[in-house]
């Protein structure tokens, strides 16, 4: 769908039918209605709730924060408006894992990302590559700390 201040009722009903059918197929509890769906979409203020990118006059998708396949309910409280890229990248990932990925890749802490990170008491840290191309030769010679534990940089 395309994000607009006035949403096409037929497009909403079609999208709604698809969401509810997918939820039934997964055995997920809950059933969405057009009014709740419209309110949920407009509450996003035209931004992807994961990365914060503007969606006005552009494509958007609805993402179940906890996926239907993992037992998430088909309710407006479990839905967020997402850009197609974020929705595809998240897939079946745990919301906390994806929130940390978003923060590490964009540096943005949207309301949704912040809420999820606080809920799971996480402070994301970027994991540095284990075999970085610019790593110095002397760094490669000793890969263990003094207590014989692998050295990882977080």
Give the model's pLDDT for residue 123.
Answer: 82
Give the lowest-confidence range in 10-19, 23-32, 91-100, 131-140.
Answer: 131-140
- The more confidently predicted of residues 70 and 138 is 70
146 within a domain of the structure (yes/no): no
The pLDDT tens digits for 103-119 are 999 988 999 999 999 99
74 within a domain of the structure (yes/no): yes
3 within a domain of the structure (yes/no): no
- Asked if residue 19 has pLDDT above 90, the reply is yes
32 within a domain of the structure (yes/no): yes
44 within a domain of the structure (yes/no): yes
Mean pLDDT of the chain: 85
Give the model's pLDDT for residue 124.
Answer: 75
Residues 19, 89, 11, CA angle at the centre, nearest 5°?
A: 30
Q: Please report which confidence band the pLDDT of residue 122 belongs to, taking 50, 70 and 90 as the band edges.
A: confident
Give the model's pLDDT for residue 129.
Answer: 56
Give the lowest-confidence range in 2-16, 36-50, 87-101.
Answer: 2-16
25 within a domain of the structure (yes/no): yes
Domain membership of residue 24 as a residue range: 9-126
Give the model's pLDDT for residue 142.
Answer: 44
Domain count, the chain: 1
Q: Is the dihedral of CA 47, 53, 56, 57 positive or negative?
A: negative
What are the helix (H) ranges across the chain?
9-26, 34-43, 84-90, 95-106, 111-119, 137-141
140 within a domain of the structure (yes/no): no
143 within a domain of the structure (yes/no): no
- Asked if residue 138 has pLDDT above 80, the reply is no
| Domain CATH code at residue 47 | 3.30.40.220
């Amino acid at each position: 769908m395309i994000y607009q201040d006035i949403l096409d009722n037929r497009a909403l009903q079609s999208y709604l039918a698809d969401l509810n059918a997918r939820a039934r197929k997964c055995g997920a509890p809950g059933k969405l209605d057009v009014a709740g769906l419209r309110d949920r979409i407009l509450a996003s203020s035209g931004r992807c709730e994961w990365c914060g990118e503007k969606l006005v006059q552009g494509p958007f998708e609805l993402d179940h924060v906890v996926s239907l396949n993992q037992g998430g309910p088909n309710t407006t409280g479990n839905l967020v408006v997402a850009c197609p890229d974020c929705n595809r990248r998240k897939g079946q990932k745990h919301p906390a894992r994806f929130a940390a990925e978003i923060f590490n890749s964009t540096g943005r802490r949207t309301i949704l990302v912040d809420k999820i990170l606080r809920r799971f008491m996480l402070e994301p840290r970027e994991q540095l590559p284990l075999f970085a191309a610019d790593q110095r030769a002397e760094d490669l010679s000793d890969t263990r700390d003094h207590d014989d534990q692998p050295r990882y940089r977080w």
